[in-house]
Amino acid sequence: MRLEKCWFCSSTVYPGHGIQFVRNDAKIFRFCRSKCHKNFKMKRNPRKVKWTKAYRRVHGKDMTQDSTFEFERKRNRPERYDRNLAETVLKAIPKIDKIRVTREERHHKNRMKGKKEKLQKEAAKELEQSISLVKAPSALQKDPSLTLPQKIKVSVSQRQSEDNNAMEE
Amino acid sequence: MIQPQTHLNVADNSGARQLMCIRIIGAGNRRYASIGDIVVAVIKKAVPNMSLERSEVIRAVIVRTRKELKRSNGMIIQYDDNVAVVIDQEGNLKGTLIFGAIARELRQLNFTKITSLAPLSRRHAEVKKLGPSCPGFESFPR
């Protein structure tokens, strides 16, 4: 029994699922479900179809190169059964999965970095420009709570930090 | 789902190129033939100067169909075209080479010559290359 990867979306195909298509040059295409199969028949390129793993890898949305992927590489050479080896492998699989997931999350976080700042800047600009759609300008002058507070810089003297250290003791 | 009037390509070097199915061998009013069934066919296209000629009636066994083949382990396999291999009355192969992939079902139906001539998949080739030193050599499904 082997867990294969869907040719189109790269998800795992479990036994009893999906269809295998054998082309005349004997290349086998495995599909996890009819959605992928139909897209293949339509001659769509998975690298251009947004929800596939191929697209995400090509466009840098997901990790491409990582040492955790080496463990899942396809091997055609059967291994001699060794109970100790099998035990270590079974113990290692969830660990490797966890590491891969944390690395993917980190990749995602790095990708999304700078988004919060961007959103806040845009929100501030929108508040400044379009607040007149919500409240009349005269009302704003009377009640300044709708504008963002101006940032005031406070300089910290050396003396204060020494006092803090005394407290920590 | 091969039925009379279906054109079949030929996957061996017997000399025929294209066959047209005339009749399915088996119980009386059998409607469709699939992988592993024997059909009576007439040769529509042939390679010149070989033993088989155009409009000769011969028997053939279906090896690849576009209709999906369902296995009991849940695997569903679909090929790209409808292909047969020419056979004689006893069931022996007419040609000496087989082209393209062959389904494993043919082995169970005693077409051992066809399965042995068929080209190997990558995994099979690896196991064969390693030979008896490879673990699981005897039990590897052929």
The per-residue pLDDT for B59 is 95
End-to-end Cα separation, chain B, in angstroms: 26
- Residue A52 in this model has a pLDDT that exceeds 70: yes
Tens digits of residue pLDDT in B76-129: 999 999 999 999 998 899 999 999 889 888 888 888 888 888 887 777 777 777
Tens digits of residue pLDDT in A53-66: 999 999 999 888 88
- Give me the residues of A, 18-77, that contact B with CB < 8 A: 18-24, 26, 76-77
A137 touches B: beta carbon within 8 Å: no
The per-residue pLDDT for B69 is 93
Q: State what percent of residues in chain A have pLDDT above 90.
A: 51
**Average pLDDT of span A3-30:** 93
pLDDT grade for A154, boundaries at 50, 70 and 90:
confident
- Residue A164 in this model has a pLDDT that exceeds 60: no
The per-residue pLDDT for A64 is 86
**Average pLDDT of span B31-43:** 94
Q: Is B92 left (phi over 0), alpha (psi -120 to 50) or beta?
A: beta
Chain B residue numbers touching A19 (CB-CB < 8 A): 68, 76-78
C-alpha distance from B11 to closest chain A C-alpha (Å): 11
The per-residue pLDDT for B136 is 65
Chain B residue numbers touching A15 (CB-CB < 8 A): 73-75
**Average pLDDT of span A62-90:** 86
Residue B68 and residue A19: Cβ atoms within 8 Å?
Answer: yes
The per-residue pLDDT for B68 is 94
Q: Average model confidence (pLDDT) for chain B?
A: 88
Residue of B nearest to A41 (CA): B80
In this prediction the ipTM stands at: 0.86
> Against a cut of 0.80, is the pTM above it?
no
| Best residue in B80, B127, B140 for a mutation probing chain A (most A CBs within 10 Å) | B80
Residue A22 and residue B76: Cβ atoms within 8 Å?
Answer: no
Residue of A nearest to B141 (CA): A1
Q: Is the dihedral of CA B29, B35, B38, B41 positive or negative?
A: positive
The per-residue pLDDT for A144 is 67
A16 touches B: beta carbon within 8 Å: yes
C-alpha distance from B119 to closest chain A C-alpha (Å): 9
Residue of B nearest to A16 (CA): B74
What 3 state SS string does chain A have? CCCEECCCCCCEECCCCCEEEECCCCCEEEECCHHHHHHHHCCCCHHHCCCCHHHHHHCCCCCCCCHHHHCCCCCCCCCCCCHHHHHHHHHHHHHHHHHHHHHHHHHHHHHHCCHHHHHHHHHHHHHHHHHHHCCCHHHHHHCHHHCCCCCCCCCCCHHHHHHHHHHHC
The per-residue pLDDT for A161 is 55
- Give me the residues of A, 77-96, that contact B with CB < 8 A: 77-81
Q: Average model confidence (pLDDT) for chain A?
A: 86
- Residue A158 in this model has a pLDDT that exceeds 90: no
Lowest pLDDT segment from A75-79, A104-108, A116-120: A75-79
